[in-house]
Amino acid sequence: MVKLQDSITIRGNIIKNRIVMEPLYTFSFRGDNGSFYGKQHLEHYTRCAKGGVGLLIVQGTDVLGAVTSTEKWSEENTGVLKQIAENCHEYGVTVLLQLACKEQDINEMSVTEITKMQQDMMQAAVTADELGFNGVEFHFAHGFTLCKFLDASYNRRTDQYGGDIDNRARILTDIIPEIRKNTQDKFMLSVRMGESQPESRDGIEAAKTFEKAGVNLLNISFGMKPPILDVPEGFPCSKMTFSAGIIKREVNIPVIAVNQIRTEAQAQYLLKNGYADFIGIGRGILADTEFANHMLNGEPINKCHGCKRCLWFTDHTKCPARKSDMKD
| 68-95 pLDDT tens trace | 999 999 999 999 999 999 999 999 999 9
> Distance between CA atoms of 35 and 93, rounded to whole angstroms?
26
Residue 328's pLDDT band, with cuts at 50, 70 and 90, is very low
How many other C-beta atoms can be found within 10 angstroms of the C-beta atom of residue 177? 11
On the question of pLDDT at 156 being above 70, the answer is yes
Burial 183-210 (b: 16+ CB within 10 A, else e): beeebbbbbbbbbbbbebebbbbbbbbb
pLDDT of residue 98 exceeding 70, the answer is yes
What CA–CA distance (Å, rounded) separates 323 from 22?
Answer: 21
Contact criterion met (CB below 8 Å) for 131 and 82: yes
Contacts of residue 16, defined as CB under 8 A and 6 or more positions apart, other chains included, come to 7, 54, 92, 93, 94
> Over the stretch 29-61, which tens digit does the pLDDT of each residue have?
999 988 999 999 999 999 999 999 999 999 999
More confident residue, 318 or 152: 152
- Pinpoint the alpha helices (H) of the chain: 39-50, 75-90, 111-130, 145-150, 165-168, 170-173, 176-181, 200-213, 239-248, 264-272, 283-287, 291-296
- Provide the b/e sequence for 222-257 (b: ≥16 CB within 10 Å): bbbebbeeebeeebebbbbbbbbbbbbebbebbbbb
End-to-end CA gap in the chain:
40
CB 53 within 8 A of CB 45: no
Task: Tell me what pLDDT residue 168 has.
Answer: 98
CA distances from 305 to 27, 165, 180, 264, 301 (A): 19, 40, 42, 17, 12
> Between vectors from CA 37 to CA 303 and to CA 106, what angle results, nearest 5°?
90
User: What are the residues whose beta carbons fall under 8 Å from the beta carbon of 23, sequence distance 6 or more?
Assistant: 57, 58, 59, 60, 98, 137, 139, 192
> What is the chain's mean pLDDT, rounded?
95
Pairing of strands 8-10, 135-140: unpaired
pLDDT at 325 (0 to 100) = 54
Q: Which fold has domain 8-323?
A: TIM Barrel (3.20.20)
Contact indicator for 63, 128 with CB cutoff of 8 Å: no
